[in-house]
Structure 1
Amino acid sequence: MLNLSLVAMSSLQLTNEKFILGKVSRGLLLTFYVLFSVWLSTFSNGTQGSIGILLICGCALLMVIYTYKRGVVRFTITDTHLQQHTFKGGWVVQWQNVSSLGLCRSHQPTHNLELPWIGIKLKDPKPFIKQACPRLITNLLLEQRSLLHLGARETEKEHLFQDQVLDSSRVELKDGETIKGLQASLYHRMCYQREYWGYDIFISTADLDRDAEEFVGLLRKYWAGSRHTSD
């Protein structure tokens, strides 16, 4: 199950981390690894060999930490917003800017109706686009490429896929502001995804450690609560 900890009466911190160690535990584990590496280095016949073993052990440790951190996803849910934190950046969606949310479902009756994505439809995409850093945008475009392709295929528009996935043409927003580059690419991608699935941004169910419907129910609870509060 996802680890939940109440930050405040109306706030939740969620994470898909399977192992959460305190500072003392991390320190002990690191000390053990260092001692183990030093012990291994004693089997070398020379100084250079010992240094080589220590370097290999150090690189192996860094690779393990890097790989583990890449897979960690955290969510902050409050009565005002939903926030996702990932290794490559994070995004925030204010509940007042959410139009709808739910599980993505296939259009084909012969396929599994539920897709491994949770979708969120925004009233205005501009706040989301403007606060997303280039690294995060790049990751979103790559991560959700398969969903775009599936949408094009299921709606018999697969011939448009290559143009859509590479679309970075300038966009003039309703307020007259012009966006280009990665921000324009994200804007177009959100438009195409909305056309296919009815949502603008997506959360992969692979980033959750609980049932997707349960997670959607939790989001809807906070979303509904924010509307009652604003009223």
Structure 2
Amino acid sequence: MQFNVSPQAKRNALTFCGLAVLLFALLVFLHLVRDDIPVGVTVVLGATSGIFLLLGVGKVIEPPVSLVITEEGIRYLHRRGQWQIRWENIIRYDVPRVNRVLELEDAPFLGFRLYQVEEVLDDISPRLASALLFEQRQLLTMALRHQAPEREDYTPYFDIPDSYISPNGTVYKGLIGVFGKRMEQMRELLGYDLYVSSNALDRDIYDFKAHLQKLQTSRT
């Protein structure tokens, strides 16, 4: 069994690039036919074209497959590297939720709680660890705002030491140490160690969770 997941986010790559080219062509055309184009119009069209181009290129360079699911486990693919986890190391997976006044709000991520975080920390590259720390900063902020509103000092969550001691006593240094500490913090706040953005999935996050459960069951 092998199931490859192509991220929905990548599907709009050519659209963004096309919009960037059209806006830039419009800007050039306007300057060719008129000499009195307001500076504000030039700035807005130029900036918007640049933003669309950056978004499009960012999507183009993403791997065509974001997740590879096999009988052995799950492999996450990113342009900065990859991580993988065995089915036997997964305690549970679900969509994390945060408390928002009198209701719960879904976070746009699929979370995985693991028996042994060392399996990930021993395998992940510093480049990928750095990228995930940056990409999941918004999730951390969301979790702190709703799960720990009573805290007066959030410094420990943003100024993380580059040394981490895992539950089995292994010491990790540098970016891997920072990532290990962040995994510990996210488990404390949301209950999961690893997170995959909904942008990396090929369908609605709850549909994907149900499909993943079917794949997990079918392997046995």
TM-score (ref. length: structure 1): 0.68
Out of 11, 21, 43, the position equivalent to 1:18 is 11
Which whole-Å deviations, capped at 9, do the CAs of 1:42-79 have from their partners, x for residues lacking one?
Answer: xxxxxxxxxxxxxxxxxxxx989843334445210112
State the Cα distance separating 1:140 from its structure 2 match. 0.7
Partner of 1:55: none
Percent identity of paired positions between Structure 1 and Structure 2: 24
Out of 151, 154, 160, the position equivalent to 1:167 is 160
For the structure 1 residues 225 and 63, does the alpha-carbon distance in structure 2 shift closer, same or farther, using more than 3 Å as the test? same
1:114-125 aligned within 5 A? 114-125=106-117
1:4-153 aligned within 5 A? 10-16=1-7, 17-18=10-11, 66-72=57-63, 73-110=65-102, 113-153=105-145
State the Cα distance separating 1:214 from its structure 2 match. 0.9
For the structure 1 residues 67 and 148, does the alpha-carbon distance in structure 2 shift closer, same or farther, using more than 3 Å as the test? closer
Do the aligned partners of 2:113 and 2:194 also contact (CA within 8 Å) in 1? yes
Task: Please give the alpha-carbon distance, in whole angstroms, between the structure 1 residues aligned to 2:142 and 2:54.
Answer: 33
Partner of 1:188: 181
Q: Supply the AA of the counterpart residue of 1:14.
A: V
Which whole-Å deviations, capped at 9, do the CAs of 1:65-111 have from their partners, x for residues lacking one?
Answer: 84333444521011211111111111111111000100111212456
SS at 1:131 equivalent: coil
Task: Please give the alpha-carbon distance, in whole angstroms, between the structure 1 residues aligned to 2:91 and 2:156.
Answer: 28
> Which consecutive residues of structure 1, in runs of 5 or more, have no partner in the other structure?
1-9, 20-61
Do the aligned partners of 1:81 and 1:92 also contact (CA within 8 Å) in 2? yes
Q: Work out the number of aligned pairs and report it.
A: 177
Task: Please give the alpha-carbon distance, in whole angstroms, between the structure 2 residues aligned to 1:71 and 1:159.
Answer: 38
For the structure 1 residues 99 and 177, does the alpha-carbon distance in structure 2 shift closer, same or farther, using more than 3 Å as the test? same
Dislocated runs of 4+, deviation >4 Å: 62-66, 109-112
Q: Supply the AA of the counterpart residue of 1:13.
A: N
Do the aligned partners of 2:66 and 2:201 also contact (CA within 8 Å) in 1? no
Do the aligned partners of 1:152 and 1:160 also contact (CA within 8 Å) in 2? no
For the structure 1 residues 12 and 107, does the alpha-carbon distance in structure 2 shift closer, same or farther, using more than 3 Å as the test? same
Task: Please give the alpha-carbon distance, in whole angstroms, between the structure 2 residues aligned to 1:108 and 1:68.
Answer: 32
Instruction: State the superposition RMSD in angstroms.
Output: 2.6
TM-score (ref. length: structure 2): 0.71
> Which consecutive residues of structure 2, in runs of 5 or more, have no partner in the other structure?
13-52
Task: Please give the alpha-carbon distance, in whole angstroms, between the structure 2 residues aligned to 1:212 and 1:173.
Answer: 30
Task: Please give the alpha-carbon distance, in whole angstroms, between the structure 1 residues aligned to 2:93 and 2:198.
Answer: 14
Computing the radius of gyration over CA atoms, which structure comes out larger, 1 or 2?
1
SS at 1:220 equivalent: helix
Task: Please give the alpha-carbon distance, in whole angstroms, between the structure 1 residues aligned to 2:217 and 2:142.
Answer: 31
